[in-house]
Amino acid sequence: MADLKTYKFTVEMTCEGCVNAVKRCLTKAFGDRLSSVDTDLSSKSVVVVIDNSAHHYSHDDVFEAIKKCGKEVHKVD
């Protein structure tokens, strides 16, 4: 049974290229444990859903993965 966790962020994204870069970084970091990434360019929001059933990722883990893209990122509680 999947243990899905949702993490929310605001990320400095200005174009679809930025959105795709964030998605690539998250896919590289979490692989098949990444359930979904929803982005909204106008509000600069990123909502990440990860399957935590095999490994427990924290909000900080996801934050650091996005930060590695070179984007300014802020956690949203």
Q: What is the residue type of 28?
A: K
Inform me whether the pLDDT recorded for 1 exceeds 80.
no
Domain extents in the chain: 4-76
Looking at residues 52-77, what average pLDDT do you find? 93
Tens of pLDDT along 19-60?
999 999 999 999 999 999 999 999 999 999 999 987 889 999
Question: Which CATH code fits 4-76?
Answer: 3.30.70.100
pLDDT of residue 55: 84
pLDDT of residue 77: 82
Q: What is the DSSP string of the chain?
A: ---EEEEEEEE---SHHHHHHHHHHHHHHHGGGEEEEEEETTTTEEEEEEE-SSS---HHHHHHHHHTTT--EEEE-
